[in-house]
Each structure stands twice: as structure tokens, then as C-alpha cells.
Amino acid sequence: MSTPSNSPITRLELFLPDEAATKRFGEDFTLALIKGDLVTLSGDLGAGKSSLARAIIRAMADDEGFEVPSPTFTLVQSYEALRIPVAHADLYRISHGEELDELGLVEFLEDGVVLCEWPEQAEGFLPEPSFAVTLTHEGAGRRIAISGSNAAIARLQRTLDIRAFLENNDRAAATRRCLQGDASPRKYEIITSAHGVEVLMNAPAMPYDPPLRNGKSYRQLAHIAENIQAFVAIDGLLAAHGLRVPEMRAMDIDAGLLILEDLGTEGIRAPSGEPVAERYEAAGRFLAHLHGVQWPDQAPVPGHLDHIIAGFDRDAMIMEVSLVGQWYAPRIMGRKLTEAEIAAYETAWDEVLTEIADCEKSLLLRDYHSPNLFWFEDAKGVDKIGTIDFQDAMIGPAAYDVASLALDARVTITPELEKAVVGAYCDERRKLGHVFDEAAFRMAYAAMGAQRNAKLLGLFVRLDERDGKPHYLAHLPRIHDYLGRVLKHPVMAPVARWFDDLALLEKQ
């Protein structure tokens, strides 16, 4: 919320030549705001405080005609239904800062953003602002000065850098709107310009991740992409083999910015959210085609060294399933696992992974499930399916992505639909004339389905406890069910016994 007064302060200045520039800056500023931000707006009458506040609120509402009445007489106008709730305050008419208590601005900051005009009227009673904005007249335009903590100004500078990237790529006047992303630090925007509707990926290099095991961080052990180069490489590789992925239209790889084709909004689930069997089965057949390609272990990145596609090795698999012991088990059992319990868990997984060591390997997209899949009704064959979010791709068991799809973490897949999806995949492999050992595949499917869902049990708890994203907990009952299904396969007996001994799947 507030920034301690002893935090380093940074300052930015910009000249906004006209109202269109003010509106664009409001859009840019909106994309830098997070819950808890207090934005103070200072300046003479007519300096543009209300114009900027209105631009921010309309961008947050994704509605250029959104009604934004002046709070001059009401003192505060609240907008609770926006992407981030916003309170717009005008303190010009208050006589003493103590009157702030009645306005509830501090409480509003717990889950929203406050835009505060005339903050001078309550000096000493407001929290330290995230952004202190001062507007002054300058010719036909206005000059804007923004100060704040290093962290806050860094957020604003990033969004201004994105605007500069758009300007450098013939999209200076593009409108920008937040696009709901995934659990990763990557952010996405919908941009609209003369080039149409496109997606902007904002993926700067990942911050430092401390060593966890053998001198390597979790990201390094689990082969998680640490910059945008991996996405660029895999996108190009898949496109070269005729698979539908977003066209890359502009990029600044060093800055971690990409402009991508918008694949639309039609996914493999119905508008109600329910899975559409025909589409899931088509997505299974897509994987059959993907697994018929002999994939290289590296892919080109324009202007950079080739991206090395890591192997999904034993260390990566064990690191992921260890999230059960680190996060899920303590949450369920109310205690940490003992060293003996952790060792027994790892030994059980080693037995399973040894059994499937010789299974078929292919390019593994890793998060091949409904949030990342698109449906094209009028297309033919494999082109009916488009995919995104493959930057963490590896070379590993071909069965992994089939399990990711047929045991979709984001929507309940019935055993009947799971069987149909797996059957569609197997039938397509045979139809394509591939050398295909179905029994070995089904063994690997059980192992990879268990590995993925064990990881997700721990990951979703971690997202709640460490990252403040509790909505992922809603998926846990589904993940329980999926894990229970695949643990019934004989190859999973060692891991199934471990879960049974601790009764971990009986407790929720």
C-alpha cells in the first residue's frame, strides 16, 4: 500500500502535448497500477487532474464511454466492479485531514487503487503515495512529473518502455488493455491499432531465484524459461512444422517484448465452461501429429544463440513432485514431513521413473490444456487447434501432454471423456502409421499424469500461501480425483502406497 518514507524516491517527467496524449498516458499508467496503490494528483485548477483520473478509470473499465462523474461534491466516487477497484477522491472541499476517516480511503487500498485529487488538503493524514503526480500547464499541453519509490517507478517505466516499443513498430496510437494471464510473472495485453487486434507479451528476464539443490534454482532444475527467447524459439519451431501458433509480428528479445497474432477467444470449452468432447478429441489428434515429428534439441532465436531444448530428466521430475512434500502435505497434515517420509517419497518415484525410462520421447509442450488451446471451426484436420504458452517445452515422455489434456487441471474431465481423448490420440497414431506401443504409452500416461498432478497439488498450495493467489485452491478436489485415477495403474504402485500410508488423498 504505502511506501516507507525512507525508501529511495525516483522521478519521471513527461510532456503531454494534447488530450489524446493524456488519454494514452492514462492507459499506460493504468497498466502499471496494482492493488494498494495510492496515486495523488496535484496541480492548479484546470491542470488536467480530472482528465487523467478519467482516462485511468476508463482504461481500467475497458470502456471509453464509461461514465466518470466528478467527485467534487461527493468527495469520493467508487468503482468496485473494475478489473482493480478504483476510488476517485477530490479533497478540495475538506477542511481538515481528520475528515479522511469518514471517506474510507485507507480501507479501500486493501483491495483497490485510490486516485486522490488535491492531496494537499489532507497533508499528514494520507499514507505515503505509490505515485505522487503533479500536472502543470505548458503551452497547449501539460507537463507531468511523477515521483515514487524505485519499485513503483520501475513499474511505470516498464509500461512507458512498452509504449515506446509500440511506437517503434508502427503502433504509436494503439490502445492497450490488460489481458488475463497465467500463474507466471509474464503479463499480456490486448493492443488495437491499424494492424488490428493483437496480443503483446511482456516477459522481461526472470528475477534472481536462489539455489535450491546442487547449486541450481527451482527454475533451472525444472527447466522453466527465464526469458522470452524460449517462446520465440518454440513458436518458430512449431510454425515451421505447420502447426498453428501465434504469428510473431514484432519483437525486442532483449527487452522481453513480443507482438503476437491474436488467436481469438474460441477455445475447446463451451461458453458455459464445460469441455466440448469433439474439441478435446481434436486436441488429442493434434498431439498425435506432433509426436510423429523428429524434433531437434535446439531451435534458432533471431540475433541470439540457439535455444537449447532441455530434456525432462529425473531431476526435473523429482523437483516438481517434491512440491507435495514442501507445500501440500504440510497444509493437509498440519506438520512438515519427516526426512524419512521425504526419502520414501523420492524412492517411490525413482522406482516409477525407472519403469518408464525407455518410453517414447517427443517435444513436450508442458501446459497443453484448455487455457492454452484455441478452436478454429472452419479449419481442417490438425489446423483446427491452435496453441500458446509453450515456452517451457522440453524433450520428454510423449504421454505427458496427452495426460495434461485428458486430465485438464482447469475443468473437470469425466472418466468417459478422458477415455475418449486418449482413444482419439491412440487411433490417430495408428492411422498415421507411426510405430506405436500402446501398452507402453498407457504406462507412461499413468506415470506422467501422476507426476503432473502431484506437482499441481503442491503448486496450487504454493500459489496461495507464497504468491497470494488463493483462487487456485478451487482446483484441488479435481486434482485429487485425477491423481486417484492414475495411481490405480500397476506402474504407480510405489507412489500409491506412499500416499495411502499418509492418507494424503483422503484429507482435503
CATH of the domain at 31: 3.40.50.300
| 242 occurs within a structural domain | no
**Do 343 and 479 sit in the same domain of this protein?**
yes
Partners of 134 in beta bridges? 42, 145
* pLDDT bucket at 17, cuts 50 / 70 / 90: very high
| 124 occurs within a structural domain | yes
186-240 pLDDT, tens digit per residue, is 899 999 999 999 999 999 987 767 777 777 777 777 778 888 999 999 999 999 9
* pLDDT bucket at 2, cuts 50 / 70 / 90: very low
| 226 occurs within a structural domain | no
| 196 occurs within a structural domain | no
What SS3 class is residue 270? coil
Classify burial at 414, counting beta carbons within 10 Å of its beta carbon; exposed 0-12, middle 13-18, buried 19 or more. Answer: exposed
**Do 308 and 424 sit in the same domain of this protein?**
yes
Neighbours of 343 (CB within 10 A): 11
367-404 pLDDT, tens digit per residue, is 999 999 999 999 999 999 999 999 999 999 999 999 99
| 344 occurs within a structural domain | yes
| 250 occurs within a structural domain | no
Domain end marker among 168, 198, 220: 168
Neighbours of 246 (CB within 10 A): 22
Q: Residues near 231 by Cβ (< 8 Å), separated by ≥ 6?
A: 201, 203, 225, 258, 390, 391
**Do 349 and 475 sit in the same domain of this protein?**
yes
pTM of the model: 0.90
**Do 163 and 305 sit in the same domain of this protein?**
no
**Do 164 and 303 sit in the same domain of this protein?**
no
Find the CATH number of the domain harbouring 310. Answer: 3.90.1200.10
Long-range Cβ contact pairs of 25-28 (< 8 A, separation 24 or more) = 25/52, 25/55, 25/144, 26/52, 26/54, 26/55, 26/56, 26/58, 26/59, 27/55, 27/59, 27/175, 27/176, 27/177, 28/159, 28/160, 28/162, 28/163, 28/176
Say how far apart CA 54 and CA 57 lie, in whole Å: 5
**Do 159 and 274 sit in the same domain of this protein?**
no
Q: Total domain count for the chain?
A: 2
**Do 273 and 141 sit in the same domain of this protein?**
no
Q: Residues near 452 by Cβ (< 8 Å), separated by ≥ 6?
A: 400, 403, 404, 407
**Do 162 and 16 sit in the same domain of this protein?**
yes
Domain end marker among 132, 149, 168: 168
For residue 338, give the DSSP letter.
Answer: P
Partners of 105 in beta bridges? none
* pLDDT bucket at 8, cuts 50 / 70 / 90: low
| 119 occurs within a structural domain | yes
Say how far apart CA 48 and CA 66 lie, in whole Å: 18
What's the pLDDT score for residue 182?
59
**Do 274 and 418 sit in the same domain of this protein?**
yes
What SS3 class is residue 402? helix
**Do 478 and 331 sit in the same domain of this protein?**
yes
Say how far apart CA 234 and CA 224 lie, in whole Å: 13
| 216 occurs within a structural domain | no
For residue 15, give the DSSP letter.
Answer: E
Does pLDDT of 4 surpass 60?
A: no
User: Which of 162, 166, 209 is closest to 184 using CA atoms?
Assistant: 209
**Do 340 and 460 sit in the same domain of this protein?**
yes
Say how far apart CA 17 and CA 84 lie, in whole Å: 28
List Cα–Cα distances, 90 to 74, 112, 170, 176, in angstroms. 8, 17, 38, 27
Residue 155 sits in which domain range? 9-168
What SS3 class is residue 290? helix
What SS3 class is residue 177? strand
What's the pLDDT score for residue 5?
44
What's the pLDDT score for residue 470?
93
**Do 156 and 303 sit in the same domain of this protein?**
no
Neighbours of 294 (CB within 10 A): 6
What's the pLDDT score for residue 507?
63
List Cα–Cα distances, 490 to 166, 303, 337, 406, 438, in angstroms. 55, 48, 26, 19, 15
123-173 pLDDT, tens digit per residue, is 888 999 999 999 999 998 999 999 999 999 999 999 999 999 999 999 999
Residue keyed to cell 506432433: 290
> DSSP secondary structure string, 456-498?
HHHHHHHHHHTTS-GGGGGGHHHHHHHHHHHTTSGGGHHHHHH
> DSSP secondary structure string, 407-457?
T-TTSPPPHHHHHHHHHHHHHHHHHTT----HHHHHHHHHHHHHHHHHHHH
Domain end marker among 115, 144, 168: 168
